[in-house]
Chain A
């Protein structure tokens, strides 16, 4: 039985959801349906869309937004926030170590080949001191609940995590379409996220300037997250730029403007490492800026996130995070890890092959719900086919028990019903420490019994309310 965030096992309403429960009694299904249609219209009109890779229609889609908020009490949140803060500190410490003294490898905490063979490892970064020792300025830590006490980390996203615009958009929708329910709760604000983000970016500027020039580097309007890029740039009041809008001269980055070149101090880049600089990385990339890496290592511009952070967030390293936290921070991890079988280890592989029907098997380098097997929901044939791939390249896979993700009340065709959810809070790290706006993006698997919350696989979003009392 999955943990129901609204109801106790006895069927009583938990106190955090008391307001939602009584509100639900006052609105008709009709009114809810009307509000839902209106929400969809607002999303479409606002162009709040994403595109799906491999979608031959080439169309933009809306991520369905469920109007019923997901509610966390202030006490639950503060426990979670402390854990997130620790987790991201550990990620940054680990990266500092990997690109520096490599104590974790020397002490045998992490098998060295996990680093050397990791395609996200950037040997070019060895020995380079990133500004203020921060690699991961923006992290998205995916967490799930399986009971009333604990949050488990499902995945760390330390490269270019996305989704924060849906978190902010969801709140705007709540304010417009659920003002009655919102007014009856003391919901912690999240609207300051773009300001916090800008403050973090400014705080890591290489030069001491009162107003550093920050830009957001986007692959352009055909990227699936383009809406988010333009939204964040707009809300921060910084220029969104493509690679061709920037150039490097004498290891300094400039932006072309109608008023002539302007020096750039911080680049919030939403382009993957591989494409950032065709002189150093993929030579065929037209998205990046030739010479950017040299400007970066000369200390003339700060990249957020830093290069090479992927070596800390893949599904393989994930399973070592508790040990890394103990070793580098000397602290006991606050957030739990989901038990993980590393298929690279022969005993683990044997166990996984035998227990496929109860496990979730993921590619260590996969994301977006692609290339994974959800054992309990797969057919015999699907499991057999997957097993062949698994045994051919065991080191590319990890396996985890199928977690009974917690459920939240969700508006579906048949009325209001529980659906499985996860949560991606966004953790910001700047020179002055870690900032987390209370909440995050709740993703919901809209199909009954489905555990896959990815937007590319039929997932939706919910507004997340941290309620202060």
Chain B
């Protein structure tokens, strides 16, 4: 059976597909957030060094992972938009940026809240913290650059270049704790496995999945609005029941 991969790369079909998927992702995300928080705050044991303070890890680590992965996905969509000249790719990149920026901000914010009681400082200019801050600025730069150019197709191309160049920063964030000496500790979850206690691992994994589902739901909702806005002159948009109703 031949699958038509390109069917859903058209905004027309993707718009309705996204609309159907959003509630599922949103409900699953809410349920997993509840379960993950419960395990993280009630079932996972205290840490031998950090006591209760370490529990912020269940938000801090998933947010950091998402901020880095979403950047790579955003840069991937931006590159696809440049190479194949597909409309939807650039719209996806634009839709991902605010969520990525949000996760980068949460990562930095929870990191500061964690750093003060444990390290003794809200912030240090070590390689891990600084490169994550640069990631936040890259997201904000991408959003600002896209918003500053009136013609959306030109805005797509300019911001796509920024996104692609900035992707060099992601491996730097990941390996920073290995390449240089930093105040931030090394990776707990490595490619070779983890030394973490089982209940802690479960809580973190569930929170990570919940963050993914939330990110997907929000990004799909955002890309739907972008499609509506940018394709507003087309016939199919004006034939949508929700658009007709308003008009």
**B partners with A:** no
